[in-house]
Every structure is written in C-alpha cells, then in structure tokens.
Amino acid sequence: MNAAAGLIIPALLFLSSFFLYLKTLCPGVYFGDSGELIAMAHTLGIPHPTGFPLYILISKIFLLMPIANPAFKMNLMSAFFAASSAALIYGCTLLVLKDKGDKYTKYACAIFSGVLFMFSYTLWSQSGIARIYSLNAFFCLAALASYLKYTQDNSPAKYLWLLAFLTGLGFGLHLSFIIFSALLWLFIALRDKKEIIKKLPALIFFLSAGLSVYLYIFVRGLSDTVLSWKTFTRITDFFGYFTQKDYSAKMFTRDLLGYITYLGYAGKTLIREFSIPGLVILTAGVVSAAISRFKHFWLLIFIFFSNILLLAFYGSFHDLQLAFRYFIPSYAAALIIGSYGIYELAQKPKLSKVKFFIIPAALLLILPFMLVKNYHENDRSSNFLAVNYSRDLLTGMPEKANLFSNGDNQIFPITYEKFVLNRYKGITIFDSVNTIFRDIDNLRVKTGSNKVVTNILTAFEQKMTDIYSTTKLGAPVLYESLNGLSYRITPDFSYSSNIPWKMMPLKNILYDITVYQEFEGREVAGIYWYRLAEKYLSENNEELFNYTAGRALDIAYDAVPVIGNLAIIITTPPLTNFPLAETLVKKALKLQPYNTELMSNLGSIYGNQGKYREAAEMFEQVIKRDPNNLNAVMYLNKAKEQMMQSSMKQAMESARDAFFNDGMKMIKDNKYKEALPYFENDLEKNPSLARSNFHIGLIYSITGEYNKAIPQFEQALKKEPENYNTLNNLALTYVRLSQTAKAKEYFNKSLKIKPDQERVIKMLQDLK
C-alpha cells in the first residue's frame, strides 16, 4: 500500500490530469499575458515585472520540442505543471497526515485533495494557456512539501537547503510565491530560531543559488534585446523594475466600497472553484481541523488569506475579473486543511461504520457539479479567438501601415504574430501604454504627451500615412472611417467600404458560445459584435444594428470597453439616444467606479440632456482624481456656465409664467371666473403666446358664453395654426351653437393635422 500510494497513485493523478488538460488545451495563442510571454521566451526578452526569469528559461526548453506551433508548446508546459501540482498536493496532504494510523482514510483524503485540485476551476483554467500560474502553483506546493518534510520529527537539513533553493528560484515567478514562501520561513524561524541562525551561511548560499536566475534580467537588460518591457540604462532602472514601480499607482487604491466589492468577488470565486457542495464539505473539514488542533492549521490559514489580502491591497476595480488567478495557492491550502479535517471527522465513533464511504460519497456529491461547469468553461480545444483576433485586426491594412493601439488583448497577440510567427513585419505598432512596442517614444519626444490624438497629429506632421486606431478617438480634427475591427484615421474625410469583414473567418464569434465563458474571450467577442453594429449603422441598417449591438451587450455584459463604446455610438446621429447612453455608462461605472474616462463621458451625456448640475458634479469628480485633465476643467467651466444660464432662464420663465400658472391652479379647482383675470394678465404680459387665449376661450365655452369663446379660440389659432386641440374646442363651440357646417370645417382641419383622433371621427359621423 505504501509503495502504491507513494508512486502509483501520484503517477495516476499526474497522467489523468495531464490528459484531461491536454484534451482541453488551447491550440494557439490566447489573450492576456500569453502572447507576451511566448514572444519573450522565443526572443529571450524581458516581460512585465517581476520578469519571471525562471518561467522564461523553462519555456525556452519547451519551445525546443519539435511539435506544433510555439504557443501550443508553451500551453503544453502549463498543462505539465498543472498536472504535476495535482500530484504534489496529494503528496502534501499525505505529509500532514503522516502520523495518522488509518491508512485507508489517510490515502483517501490525499486522493480527495488531488482530485478536487485537478478539477478545480482556476487550476484547470490556467492549465491550457501560456501563463505563469500553473508553474507558480507547482513551486508553491514543492516549497510546502519541503517545509513539511523538514518540520517532521527528525528535521533533516537537506529539506531546509531545498526550501532555500526553491525560495530563491521561486522569486523569479510571482509575487504570490514570495508571500507564500515568506510565511513558510516565518513559521520555521518561530520554531527553530537558534538552529536557523547556525545554518544561516548555508541558507544564504542556497537562497543565492536560486536567486541567481535573476541574473537573466541583468544580462538581457544590458543586451540588445529584441523585446523588453523597459529600457535599462541605470541601476535604478533595475530597482524600479523589480519593485514594480510601474504598478505602484494600483497599490492601496481601494476605498470602503472597493473592499466590500472585492470581498464579495472573492466569495463568489470560492463557490465557483469547488461548487456549493464542495465548499460546504471543505468548510466542515476546516472547522474540524481547527477543533483538532491541527499542527499546520495556522500556517495554512495564513497562506489561504495571504493571496486574498494581497489582491485586496494590490489592485483596483480593473483587476476584479482577473484576480481569481492569484488565488491558486489559497485554494491548495484550503484543500489540505479540509482534507485533514475530513480525516478527523471520519475517525469519530459515530461515523466508524461508514468511514470507508465518506470520501467516495463526498467525491460523488461534488464532482458532478464541478465537472460539467468547469469542463464547459475551460475547454479551449477549439478556441482560435485570440489567433484570429490579431489577424482580423490587421487584415486589410497596407503593408507599411501604422497602428495606434493599447491593451493586453490587442498588443500581446500582435506581438506573437510579429515576433514569433514573423508576420505583419512592416506594420508599425504605436502602443499608447508603452509596454512592449517602443515606436511611440519617437512621437512622445516631439509631443511630450501621452494623448493618442496628439501623437497621431504629430504623425501626420511627420508625413506618416495609412494610420489606424483600435479605439474610436472622437476628435473633431480627425476623420475616422470604420475598417473592420479598426478605424482608418485621416486628416480629411475618407470612406471605408468595410471590405475587411469579408476577409474574416469569424470563427468562434458567430457560432461557438464556449468562447463567451471567460472574461477576456467575452470582451473580445463583444468587440467584434459592436464593431459589426457600427458597420450596420454606417449602412443605415437599423434592424441589424439593434441585433448586433444587443448581442455585444449580452455577451460582454461586464466588459467596460464594449459597454462604454456602445454608449458613445448611440449618442451620435442618427441615433442620438442620450438616456440609453446614460444607462450604459452608469452600468460601466458600477464595474469601474473610478474610471475617469467613463466619468467624463457621463458628464458629457448629462450636459447634452440639459442636466448641467449633474454634469458639473461629474467633471469635478474627474478633476479630483485627475487634476491635470484640462478637458475636464474646460467642460466643468462650460457646465457651470450652462447651469447659470439655465438657472437664469428658469427664473425668467418662472416670472413670465406666474400669472398663467396661478390661472391653471384656479381651473384645477373649478374656479373659472376667478381664473380669468390671471389669464388676461398673462396675455397682456405675453401677447405672442396662444396659451391664455386658448384657456380664456375654454372658460367661456365651459360657462356657456360661446360668442365670447369663439374670438379667443380664433386668436389662439392665428398664433398656433396647427394646434388641433384649439381646432377641436372651436368646433365643439360651433356644435353647441348648432352651426354644423362650421363645426365640420374645424373638425376636418384637426383631422388633417392628426388623423388618428377616434373621438373626433365619431363626432363628425354624428354630425352627418
């Protein structure tokens, strides 16, 4: 049993996991960091902080395999380490149960944790795409296994050296591993402080040996690399890179609403990870482990909360849809604690007769919920969306085109196409966020600005042609023509035939709903649909516009770029639907409450609806968060000016309409005679308005003074000839005077203006 448990079971867990992940593996490049990481491994470049040198070097080995395309090879690497992690968590669970006597339950609990980890949503989601998270999970569990082996009774030093070496290596992976390993060392220091001090020189040696992987960043940073996230010229550049200076603006940015929203999100991810039955069973196990005074309980609890708290303080609303990927070490800790607690529950005397069935029953209860949903959402075996997106984006552009773009989902797949597959080499990419492509630097030297419009205008001054943008600029000084998924930008009007749409396969977009399961896929699919909506709007096809815009909103319901862009589209003629645009922007602001671009758009929408006070308040919020936003300052001043003009107009209208409003109150109270002086005073004050003539005529008609009513109605008609209500009341007055011919004449005039008046039609018939 020991031999089988030690070798065969983890081997089976690895193989079954690997073939499951292979079955659902993405066949090519994917969204997010995938294109960047593959390109960096291919060219031995330097990716975004913290650099992931270990990942890059291991990836380079996988890229040497003589199979498939580069993206598939690195996706396969993720599957390999994800499967290894499922086997490792089995080993870690066995280590925490090492001293337990019930071998069957002990191994069953280890299998339980391995199987649930294998099928868990997040590990599975990262197993088939080129990202660092499965390798990070493997190193976290390898470090934990070393810690558990070291903290056994005999405390063999070799596992301490191994942990030190893994800690150094893992620093080249992910911030979550740094937190994870720091907690392991904290608990070791609390346990063996004196022993650690004695072994400090050896520990520093092994730690340094692991950290030597970071020499890659220094060597490549000082070399003429094809791709580099940052240009290194001084030692301070390296320091800023390793400390993630570029991301410092995201740290500690959440307010109370942000923390509440984040914790709600974290709770939802836990349910999605293991299903409701799985979460209930694991929670029972965690409680049982706490009661039993489990030796490693507090270490694993701190590990569980560490990543969740890390993202609470390091991140913003923008990161919510993608934060779950950081939680894999937390899920592993929860599984180990829960499995230990389930073992303790199985030893209760009341459960002794059924203990052999507890783990199989738990798996039978949990797995159906996990399998169906997680397989459906993580099967990317036919997902070519990212592969096609970059190609569809560049389709129809001239060989020497200039594309202004930003965002991981645009930039990184293009990076893969250009630097790994050697396609579209002549197209220059100007990345306004300045991540990988550095051509934008040449324009910024001239403009001193990060604004896309400013840099495009400078590009025209430098005689650049064939300029395109992936975002709608809305600048009055530039003309934008829809060019499939992009816009062709010109200094004067140009027409686009939308030919690129005929060249796109639209695979995964029109027919394959599986691409809509993950946020990044839904966002890009939504981009396709709203660009199609723009195409049909440009062709004046309102029916197809409504359908495609609706599809975009249904699919990308939480994608701010899609919602925000559709809001902008419907504010332009011939739609000009500001109330709907307001609803959409408010929906987007619920997802990203501090997005100043959305705030500015909402302020403009308020202004266009005459809601000047709301517009001013919105622009004040923009300036509070972005004091250098000169556009917001300009629009705030304009909104305040319009608000003042509106207030003055309302005051003038209030003074102008005082007599008329008092007269209307009298009519409402059936005080007709008392109302007459008010309408007469209003008529004297506003002789050009027909309203008081009409109401004086109405009062005379109600009180039976028909001959006095007729001149008033006629005066009202001279001022408003098309007012069918006046015509109808004049006709009724003639009916009461038994002047049928005159009554018919005015009823017929009224029907010419508004034919669908059933009551008037009936009166005419009765007059015949």
Q: How confident is the model at residue 265 (pLDDT cuts 50, 70, 90)?
A: confident
Report the alpha-carbon distance of residue 157 to residue 205 in Å, rounded: 14
Burial class (CB in 10 A: 0-12, 13-18, 19+), 200: exposed
Q: What is residue 413's predicted lDDT score, i.e. its pLDDT?
A: 94
**3-class DSSP assignment, residue 290:** helix
Report the alpha-carbon distance of residue 611 to residue 583 in Å, rounded: 14
pTM (two decimals): 0.82
Is pLDDT above 70 for 398? yes
**3-class DSSP assignment, residue 49:** coil
Is pLDDT above 60 for 1? no
Is pLDDT above 60 for 317? no
CB-based burial, 446-485: b 16+ in 10 Å, e otherwise: ebeeeebbbbbbbbeeeebebbbbbbbbeeeebbbbbbbb
Strand partners, 480: 489
Cis omega (within 30 of 0) on the bond before 627?
no
**Max avg pLDDT among 72-86, 276-290, 501-515, 697-711:** 72-86
Q: What is residue 419's predicted lDDT score, i.e. its pLDDT?
A: 94
Q: What residues contact residue 406 under an 8 Å CB cut-off, 6+ apart?
A: 431, 432, 433, 470, 471
Per-residue model confidence as pLDDT tens digits over 494-551: 766 677 888 888 877 877 766 777 888 889 999 999 999 999 998 889 899 999 999 9
Mean pLDDT for 266-275 is 86
Position with higher pLDDT, 540 vs 433: 540
Report the alpha-carbon distance of residue 196 to residue 147 in Å, rounded: 13
Mean pLDDT for 183-203 is 90
Is pLDDT above 80 for 334? yes
Mean pLDDT for 598-602 is 91
Mean pLDDT for 715-742 is 90
Is pLDDT above 70 for 730? yes
Q: Which DSSP symbol is given to 66?
A: S
Mean pLDDT for 233-238 is 82
- How many Å separate Cα 368 from the centre of its chain? 29
Report the alpha-carbon distance of residue 685 to residue 660 in Å, rounded: 10
Q: What is residue 450's predicted lDDT score, i.e. its pLDDT?
A: 75
Q: Which class does domain 595-656 fall in?
A: mainly alpha
Q: What is residue 249's predicted lDDT score, i.e. its pLDDT?
A: 61
Q: What is residue 647's predicted lDDT score, i.e. its pLDDT?
A: 73
Contact 678, 668 (CB under 8 A): no
Report the alpha-carbon distance of residue 702 to residue 715 in Å, rounded: 18
- The runs of H, that is alpha helices, within 222-255 are 235-242
Q: Which DSSP symbol is given to 32?
A: T
Is pLDDT above 70 for 478? yes
Contact 170, 49 (CB under 8 A): no
Cis omega (within 30 of 0) on the bond before 50?
yes
Q: What is residue 531's predicted lDDT score, i.e. its pLDDT?
A: 93
Instruction: Tell me the CB-side half-sphere exposure of residue 13, using CA atoms within 13 A.
Output: 30
Q: What is residue 19's predicted lDDT score, i.e. its pLDDT?
A: 96
Count of other CB atoms within 10 angstroms of residue 625: 12
Which of 278, 9, 342 minimizes the C-alpha distance to 121? 278
Contact 83, 127 (CB under 8 A): yes
The sheet carrying 467-469 orders its strands as: 428-431, 402-405, 467-469, 486-490, 479-483
Per-residue model confidence as pLDDT tens digits over 122-136: 999 999 999 999 999
Q: What is residue 173's predicted lDDT score, i.e. its pLDDT?
A: 85
Torsion angles phi and psi, residue 670, rounded to 5: 65, 25
**3-class DSSP assignment, residue 480:** strand
Lowest mean pLDDT among 180-184, 325-329, 472-476: 472-476
Angle at 662 between CA 657 and CA 665, to 5 degrees: 125
Q: What is the mean pLDDT of the chain?
A: 88
Lowest mean pLDDT among 140-144, 236-240, 321-325, 596-600: 321-325
Q: How confident is the model at residue 230 (pLDDT cuts 50, 70, 90)?
A: confident
Report the alpha-carbon distance of residue 242 to residue 233 in Å, rounded: 15
Q: How confident is the model at residue 717 (pLDDT cuts 50, 70, 90)?
A: very high
Q: How confident is the model at residue 315 (pLDDT cuts 50, 70, 90)?
A: low
Is pLDDT above 80 for 153? no
Strand partners, 46: 228
**Max avg pLDDT among 197-206, 317-326, 758-767:** 197-206
Q: What is residue 320's predicted lDDT score, i.e. its pLDDT?
A: 64
Q: What is residue 768's predicted lDDT score, i.e. its pLDDT?
A: 66
**Max avg pLDDT among 338-342, 498-502, 691-695, 734-738:** 338-342
Report the alpha-carbon distance of residue 567 to residue 90 in Å, rounded: 50
- Radius of gyration over alpha carbons of the chain, in Å? 35
Contact 248, 272 (CB under 8 A): no
Report the alpha-carbon distance of residue 176 to residue 154 in Å, rounded: 30
Is pLDDT above 80 for 255? no
Which of 71, 63, 64, 9 minimizes the C-alpha distance to 36? 71
Is pLDDT above 90 for 656? no
Report the alpha-carbon distance of residue 92 to residue 700 in Å, rounded: 96
Per-residue model confidence as pLDDT tens digits over 2-50: 655 568 999 999 999 999 999 999 999 999 899 999 999 999 999 988 8
Q: How confident is the model at residue 387 (pLDDT cuts 50, 70, 90)?
A: very high
Is pLDDT above 90 for 678? no
Q: How confident is the model at residue 152 (pLDDT cuts 50, 70, 90)?
A: confident
Decide if domain 659-767 falls under CATH 1.25.40.10. Answer: yes
Q: What is residue 447's predicted lDDT score, i.e. its pLDDT?
A: 78
Contact 737, 750 (CB under 8 A): no
Q: What is residue 444's predicted lDDT score, i.e. its pLDDT?
A: 80
Q: What is residue 685's predicted lDDT score, i.e. its pLDDT?
A: 85
Q: What is residue 248's predicted lDDT score, i.e. its pLDDT?
A: 61
